[in-house]
Chains A and B, each alone.
Chain A
Amino acid sequence: MIKIKSLHKRYPGMHAVKGINLNIKSGEFFALLGPNGAGKTSIIGMLTGLTTISEGSIKVDSHIAGSEEAKKKIGFVPQEFNMDIFETAYNVLHYNAQYFNVEKHVERVNLLLTELGLYEHRNKKVKELSGGMKRKLMIARALLHDPEIIILDEPTAGIDVESRKFIWKYFREANKNGKTILLTTHYIEEAEQLCNRVGILHKGELLAIENVKDLMLKYNMQKVTLDFKTKKDAVQFAGDKYTVNNKSVTVPGERFTKILDEFTTEKIVQVHTHDKSLEEIFLEMIQ
């Protein structure tokens, strides 16, 4: 569905994207993870036609990214609010639906306003809407032409928990209904909850592209937390190698058996295992 080949983006004095290759299949929920400046927004910009490509290519089905045909297939929710703040919520959708030549656009606008809980606020100016409502309005705007691909650039940044959960549920449902979704996010939990595959991006390079579950297995992500009787015991055990958290010390799963051989278990009250989060994997990889 989306084919990115040897993609480069150069700004004056900066090489933001360095030869990315990436294929996203139809129906996938794919996340691009990376810290600020990793190149996520540049890639999305080139995909949507907002940014020029320095080298390489992006194809949306068989269409070159930025072409009219490619644009018709994409619905884009940007990171920054980018609406006419003096227009009403209804008018923002009313005009944008016509930019995409949406048939029966009045019905479509009203349907999306209702689905996203904005119908009662349709006559309010954008500047009068809360952050969560503005974000939902941008989502409605991106969905007006019923695109096959939805691109979400930090869709839940700066909004309340309730709105975030609503948006997660909404896109999980959209993905079940066949939409291909490309997400960039700082909330790694978001990628873990929603996505099939993730791409780890750092300083313009793609460090890994993995299925979320495979990534966790591949990096042997199980951890063991040992609860000690006293903090002194925990500190003695941890030495310089591990960090003590109150009376507990967490160690990598693969070290656990060796640790038990080296250290008396009498001072340990409880042992519990848990998986490393995607966030921890991500931090390890970019370090």
Chain B
Amino acid sequence: MNGYKPIVEREVKRILRIWKQTLLPPLFTTMLYTIVFGFSLQRSISDISGFSYIQFTLPGLIVMSVIMTAFSQSCSTIFIQKFHGNIQEILVSPIKPFTFVLAHISASIFRGGIIAVILAIFGFAAIGLPLQHIFFATMSILLSITLFSVLGIYTALWARSFDHLQVFQNFLITPLSFLGGVFYSVSTLPQPYLTLSQFNPIFYIVDSFRYGLLGIQEAKPIISLIILTTLCIVGISHVTYLVRIGYKTKH
């Protein structure tokens, strides 16, 4: 695992050095969402599966925040290395492509993990959010960070300008998040949207994390974890291959 430690060390120091950019915005945004969607709307929305609207929504909001953070962590740092040219330091070194990918996923886990823990504590303290199944809560967060960190690496490799970075975020992650049952129960959707939701990975992340916290689910939680694990394995394998062949990093 030659090269793993310095990449993670560099990224962790960078995350902590510019914490106002890396940690504060997702925390602030999620808390704002909680106030707007939760406290103000819950009076007019009835309980869902025995939980208040704010309790039902917060797990999804945490997931949204965590996946955005994981995506932007790997995406921005690798793209900036391409932009400044210092990705060549990695390309001329004997670091294995898999180590490079793993180190960036680890850095995303560090950053996304901090966001998840702080927001979960906020949920426990502010709205009495329960923690029913810690294994499912933890695994769904780890797998979602991994999956979206991999997507961030893809985007950074593919992108040629800062505008390209926004494409995945605006046209893939945000729509999938909103269609993944963050603000509502997917079972309330009419066909064909109900069936289409089964193809949305964010649905499985939100559902399994919500099961971990609230103990309620729409898909079988273990199936959700298997689907997410499969997506992670396929994603890591493919992105490692792209790094190995120098996709858009070698001329």
CA distance A82 to B3 in the complex (A): 18
Residues of B participating in the A interface, judged by any CB pair closer than 8 Å = 2-3, 5-7, 9-10, 81, 84-86, 88-96, 245-246, 250-251
Judging by beta carbons under 8 Å apart, are A49 and B96 in contact? no
Determine whether A95 belongs to the interface, using a CB cutoff of 8 Å to chain B: yes
Q: A-B pairs with the 10 shortest C-beta distances?
A: A82-B85, A98-B6, A99-B93, A68-B94, A95-B6, A51-B251, A71-B94, A101-B2, A99-B3, A84-B86
Residues of A participating in the B interface, judged by any CB pair closer than 8 Å = 11, 42, 45, 48-52, 68-69, 71-72, 74, 76, 78, 80-85, 87, 91, 94-96, 98-101, 141
CA distance A11 to B250 in the complex (A): 12
**Sample (20) of A-B pairs whose CB atoms are under 8 Å apart:** A48-B92, A49-B250, A51-B250, A52-B251, A68-B94, A78-B85, A78-B88, A81-B85, A82-B84, A82-B85, A82-B89, A84-B81, A84-B84, A84-B86, A95-B10, A95-B89, A96-B93, A98-B5, A100-B93, A101-B2
| Nearest-Cβ distance from residue A76 to partner chain B, whole angstroms | 5
| Nearest-Cβ distance from residue B207 to partner chain A, whole angstroms | 40
| Nearest-Cβ distance from residue A55 to partner chain B, whole angstroms | 15
- Residues of B contacting A101 in the complex (Cβ-Cβ under 8 angstroms): 2-3, 94
- Residues of A contacting B86 in the complex (Cβ-Cβ under 8 angstroms): 82-84
> Which residue of A11, A51, A52, A99 contacts B90 across the interface (Cβ within 8 Å)?
A99
Judging by beta carbons under 8 Å apart, are B88 and A100 in contact? no
Given A52-B245, A98-B3, 20 new contacts (CB under 8 A): A45-B250, A45-B251, A52-B246, A68-B94, A71-B93, A72-B94, A74-B92, A80-B85, A82-B85, A83-B89, A84-B86, A85-B84, A94-B6, A95-B7, A98-B5, A99-B2, A99-B89, A100-B94, A101-B94, A141-B89
| Secondary structure dominating the interface of A | mixed
| Beta-carbon nearest neighbor of B2 in chain A | A101
The winner among A83, A95, A99 for most chain B CB atoms within 10 A is: A99
Judging by beta carbons under 8 Å apart, are B88 and A82 in contact? yes
- Residues of A contacting B246 in the complex (Cβ-Cβ under 8 angstroms): 52
| Beta-carbon nearest neighbor of B245 in chain A | A52
The winner among A49, A51, A85, A98 for most chain B CB atoms within 10 A is: A98
CA distance A71 to B2 in the complex (A): 13
CA distance A197 to B89 in the complex (A): 29
| Nearest-Cβ distance from residue B195 to partner chain A, whole angstroms | 43
| Nearest-Cβ distance from residue B99 to partner chain A, whole angstroms | 10
| Beta-carbon nearest neighbor of A98 in chain B | B6
Judging by beta carbons under 8 Å apart, are B6 and A99 in contact? yes
Judging by beta carbons under 8 Å apart, are B251 and A49 in contact? no
CA distance A80 to B93 in the complex (A): 17
| Beta-carbon nearest neighbor of A75 in chain B | B92
| Nearest-Cβ distance from residue A139 to partner chain B, whole angstroms | 14
The winner among A49, A81, A91, A95 for most chain B CB atoms within 10 A is: A95
- Residues of B contacting A96 in the complex (Cβ-Cβ under 8 angstroms): 89, 93
| Nearest-Cβ distance from residue A9 to partner chain B, whole angstroms | 9
- Residues of A contacting B245 in the complex (Cβ-Cβ under 8 angstroms): 52
- Residues of A contacting B84 in the complex (Cβ-Cβ under 8 angstroms): 82-85
- Residues of B contacting A69 in the complex (Cβ-Cβ under 8 angstroms): 94
- Residues of B contacting A81 in the complex (Cβ-Cβ under 8 angstroms): 85
| Beta-carbon nearest neighbor of A11 in chain B | B251
Judging by beta carbons under 8 Å apart, are A71 and B85 in contact? no
CA distance A74 to B6 in the complex (A): 20
| Nearest-Cβ distance from residue A67 to partner chain B, whole angstroms | 9
Judging by beta carbons under 8 Å apart, are B92 and A71 in contact? yes
| Beta-carbon nearest neighbor of B5 in chain A | A98
| Beta-carbon nearest neighbor of A101 in chain B | B2
CA distance A71 to B92 in the complex (A): 6
| Beta-carbon nearest neighbor of A95 in chain B | B6
CA distance A68 to B93 in the complex (A): 7
| Nearest-Cβ distance from residue A243 to partner chain B, whole angstroms | 41
| Nearest-Cβ distance from residue A150 to partner chain B, whole angstroms | 12
> Which residue of A49, A80, A85 contacts B92 across the interface (Cβ within 8 Å)?
A49
| Beta-carbon nearest neighbor of B251 in chain A | A51
CA distance A94 to B81 in the complex (A): 17
- Residues of B contacting A51 in the complex (Cβ-Cβ under 8 angstroms): 250-251
| Beta-carbon nearest neighbor of B249 in chain A | A50
- Residues of B contacting A82 in the complex (Cβ-Cβ under 8 angstroms): 84-86, 88-89
CA distance A91 to B86 in the complex (A): 13
Q: A83-B84, A95-B6, A98-B5 are in contact. Are A76 and B251 (CB under 8 A)?
A: no
- Residues of B contacting A68 in the complex (Cβ-Cβ under 8 angstroms): 94, 96
CA distance A96 to B6 in the complex (A): 8
CA distance A83 to B85 in the complex (A): 7
CA distance A220 to B136 in the complex (A): 81
Judging by beta carbons under 8 Å apart, are B251 and A50 in contact? yes
- Residues of A contacting B81 in the complex (Cβ-Cβ under 8 angstroms): 84
